[in-house]
A and B are shown apart, each in its own frame.
Chain A
C-alpha cells in the first residue's frame, strides 16, 4: 500500500453514514487508527471503488456490523500485562473479599480473554461464587465469542506463561479442555459472567460497581470522549471502588483526576476517593 485508497474526508463520510443509519458513533474516536483500519478493510474486501464500499455499508446491515467489528480493535490476550493481574490479585481482591456481593464491570471486553482471566483470579481467591462480572462491548459479534469461552489453543502456551508471571499457582491447563483448535474454558467460570452489548459513547450507567476494568479502549477516543467515559465510570463506581485501565492510560489531566487516588505500584489502578 503506497497511498491510502480511502481518504480522510471519505472516512469521515462513512463514519457519518454509520452514525445516521445504525447509531454507532465513531466521530469522537482518534482518527489515525480508524483511518488505517478502514483502509485495511477496503483492501482486504477488495472493493473496486469507494462508492461501492460506501453503498455496501449503507445497504447491508450485516456488512455494517463487519465494518464496526473491523474498525474497532479487538486484539486481546489472557492475563495481558501479568504485573497488572498480580496487582489485582494482591491489592484489589482482598478488599473486594470484604463485600457480601461483588459487582464488576469489564467495559470494552472484546472477545473476553481478560474477563476469563479475572474469573480465574476470583475463583482462586474463593470469591467467584459471590461475584458477577458484566462484560460489555459495543460489538455483538465479539461478545458471541466471549460467551462461548473458547479461545485458540495455539495461544495457550503464551497464556500459561502470562498466568504464571501473574502469580498463578495452579496448572493452567486444568482450567480448560482442549477441543481440536480450541481450548474450552470450564463452565463454572462463565456462569458468573454476563456478556451484554453496551456502547460507551451513547449508553449510560446501569449499576453500581466495586471494580471497573477498561483496558486499552480509551486510547482510541479523543479527549472529549475520554472525559465523558471517565465520568461515566466515576458515576458507576461505589465510594472506594477501583478503576483499572491499560498500561499506557492515565487519569492525569482529566476532569476526574481529583476524585481518584492511584494505588502505589506501577500498575494503572485507581481508587475512587470522592463523590
Chain B
C-alpha cells in the first residue's frame, strides 16, 4: 500500500489563465489530490499570479519551492523562469536548464518528470495556448499509465496548443473548462487503474 497522494497538473499558455480562473472556484475544498499549475508567463507577474489565484479558491495556493513535498489539497504554481521537476519521493525540484519549446517553465518538462514519479496516480490537463509545449509530455503521462486531458479547442482562447496535443498524443478526455473541476474532484478515490 502506498500513501502517495494523487497529482493533477494543469498546463497552459496564452489563454490558459482564463481557463484556470474558471476551474479553480469549483474545486472541492476537501480535495485529496495535489495540484500543480504550469503557466507560461512573463517573469514580472510573479507574485501577482499567486494572489490572483488565491482569491479564486479556498484551497491553499503557493509558489512551488524546491525540496518541498507535495501535499493533497494544495495548489502549487511553477515559478517563472524555472522548470519544475517532481522527484520519486514526491518532492519538488527546480531546474534552470535550457528553455524547452521556448518556454521556462516548460509544460513538457513537468509532465515528463511527473509521469516518471507518479505513473498512474497522475492526471495531466493541457489548456489553451499558442505553442506545442505539453504534447510530448502528455504522451509520456499516457505511457506511464496516467490520464491525459485536453481542453476542448473550441473553448480555448488560443486553440493551437490543445489541437497540437490532439494530433501528437493519446488523449483520453476532451473537456470544457467548466467540466474540468468535476473531473478533478472525482479523480481521487474512484479511479482504480493503479
Q: Which of A1-9, A99-107, A194-202 contacts B (4 or more CB under 8 A)?
A: A1-9
The answer on a CB contact under 8 Å between B136 and A75 is no
Known: A75-B98, A219-B66. A3 touches B144 (CB 8 A): yes
- A37/B97 in contact, CB under 8 A: yes
Q: Known A2-B140, A36-B109, A223-B67; judge A8-B96 contact (CB<8 A).
A: no
- Comparing B23-31, B111-119, B150-158, the segment that makes contact with chain A is B111-119
B143 A31 Cβ-Cβ under 8 A? no
State whether A33 and B66 are in contact (beta carbons under 8 Å apart), knowing that A2-B139, A2-B140, A3-B143 are contacts in the complex: no
A220 within 8 A of B: yes
Contact partners of B87 in chain A: CB under 8 A: 30-32
Q: Is A248 an interface residue (CB 8 A)?
A: yes
Q: B residues 8-46 with Cβ under 8 Å of A?
A: none
In the complex with contacts A2-B140, A8-B116, A35-B116, A219-B94 CB distance below 8 A: yes
B93 at the interface (CB under 8 A from A): yes
Q: How far is the CB of B88 from chain A (nearest CB, A)?
A: 6
Quick check: B112 and A36 within 8 Å, CB to CB? yes
- Give the complex CA separation of A36 and B152 in angstroms: 30
Q: Which of B73-115 contact A (CB under 8 A)?
A: 79, 81-82, 85-88, 93-98, 109, 112-113
Whether the pair B140, A219 counts as a contact (CB closer than 8 A) is no
Alpha-carbon gap, A145 to B96, bound state (A) = 19
**Please, how many angstroms separate the alpha-carbon atoms of A72 and B145 in the complex?**
30
Kindly state whether residue A246 has any CB partner on chain B within 8 Å: yes
Report chain B residues within 8 Å CB of A249. Answer: 66
* A107 → chain B closest CB, angstroms: 15
A160 interface contact, C-beta 8 A: no
Partner of B116, one of A4, A75, A248: A4
Given contacts A8-B88, A75-B98, A223-B67, contact A33 B140 (CB under 8 A): no
Chain B residues proximal to chain A, CB less than 8 Å: 65-67, 79, 81-82, 85-88, 93-98, 109, 112-113, 116-117, 136, 139-140, 143-144
**Extra contacts besides A3-B144, A32-B113, A73-B95 (17): CB < 8 Å:** A1-B112, A1-B136, A1-B140, A2-B139, A3-B143, A30-B87, A32-B85, A32-B95, A35-B116, A36-B85, A36-B113, A73-B97, A219-B94, A219-B95, A246-B96, A248-B79, A248-B94
- Nearest first, the 8 A-B pairs at minimum CB distance are A32-B85, A30-B93, A73-B97, A2-B143, A216-B96, A33-B95, A219-B94, A32-B113
